[in-house]
Structure 1
Amino acid sequence: MKKILLVVVVFAWSCKTSVEPLEENELITTVKMNFENGGVVKTFSFKDPDGDGGASPTLDKIVLDKSKTYNLTLEFFDESKSPVLNITDEILDAADEHLVAFTLTPSTLGKYTYSDKDKNGFNIGLKGTFETLATAGSGKLKVQLRHQPPINGMISKNGTITPGSDDVNIDFDIEIK
């Protein structure tokens, strides 16, 4: 009887599947968007120094000129630490696990084109171009930093925003004039 019980315990233990713990999302308290055109840089920020809860965040309104192409770079920081932690470096180090997604509403205000790729050829979104169209108007620019870590050793990032979870999800007001 003891042999049968031992065999059942060993068999049950050996059949367990290994599940890797999910990586936690980064604490990001500041997002800077740098729009450069002709040597002039316009920087717009989201700041929430105490993180979720507590004081309300501050959020700049993005104001851009129509019919322009801007080089856009993004920077992410955790300013709750001293010294300030540059999360942009962590995103680059794990680029195959991150995607910055942009959703412009209405889409007639402009378009974003990615210029950076991870080692698997998928977009990252820390660098690109933002082209404003000829129509003036206002709307929203949603900026999402998606954290898409491997699940059980399998790559989850597939070039879409579907896998993973948000490290950042911000709706900026935007005006094209």
Structure 2
Amino acid sequence: MRTRTKAWVGLLLIGGFGLFLTSCDKAKDPEPADENELITTVSLTFTEQGGGSPQTFTFRDPDGDGGQAPTRFDNISLKANTTYTLTIALLDESKSPAKNLTTEVQEKRDEHLFVYTATPATLLTYTYGDRDSRNFPVGLTGTARTGAVGTGKLNVRLRHQPPVNGVAVKNGTVAPGSDDVNINFNLTVN
């Protein structure tokens, strides 16, 4: 009887030790998801190259997507046939004090891409002024060149493109990842 008990105890110890070793294998644990940030405020600052005062246009939605309507949504008005330096600032104002997400995007620039698209395309073209560590565009700063007089939209998207299973997916295109921001400003070029 004792031999049988010892055998069972031995098997339990071996099985338990094997289970312990398997549960400690970190390579099999999935990586935690790199979640999208809550961005409540987006400010675009256009500064005319060669002089001129900066103009800032802001979108503010304090409770984030859904819920209440945005409390501020400026219309962008720019001069025709003019070159501007464009910078963007992001905040999460649902926290107190507000969290500066521009800094976070800068720190994680290998995982983020801003895309600026004017409709119609003749209203404004954008050229990236910053790059990540793999030489892909980021879009925290760049050059915006307006075209002829007209009205339309300026779509501003921030693509969140974190690595998948430890492999970088950002490739300089809009395809990988998901939207942190996707808003349409009214745009007037006059």
1:62 alignment partner AA: I
Pick aligned residue for 2:153 from 140, 149, 163: 140
1:52 and 1:171 map into 2 onto residues whose CA distance is 14
1:157 and 1:122 map into 2 onto residues whose CA distance is 8
* Residue 43 of structure 1: aligned partner: 56
Q: Equivalent residues in 2 for 1:88-99 (5 A)?
A: 88-99=102-113
Matched, 1:29 2:43: no
Give the conservation status (yes or no) of the 8 Å contact 1:18–1:152: no
* Residue 179 of structure 2: aligned partner: 166
1:63 alignment partner AA: S
Residue 143 of structure 2 aligns to a residue in which SS? strand
1:18 and 1:83 map into 2 onto residues whose CA distance is 35
Larger radius of gyration: 2
Residue 37 of structure 2 aligns to a residue in which SS? coil
Give the conservation status (yes or no) of the 8 Å contact 1:105–1:139: yes
Pick aligned residue for 2:88 from 57, 74, 78: 74
| Displacement after TM superposition at 1:18 (Å) | 4.4
* Residue 111 of structure 1: aligned partner: 125
Pick aligned residue for 2:136 from 104, 113, 122: 122
1:169 alignment partner AA: N
| Displacement after TM superposition at 1:21 (Å) | 2.6
| Displacement after TM superposition at 1:59 (Å) | 1.1
1:21 alignment partner AA: P
The number of aligned residues is 171
Higher relative contact order (CA 8 A, sep 6+): 1
Task: Give the TM-score normalised by the residue count of structure 2.
Answer: 0.83
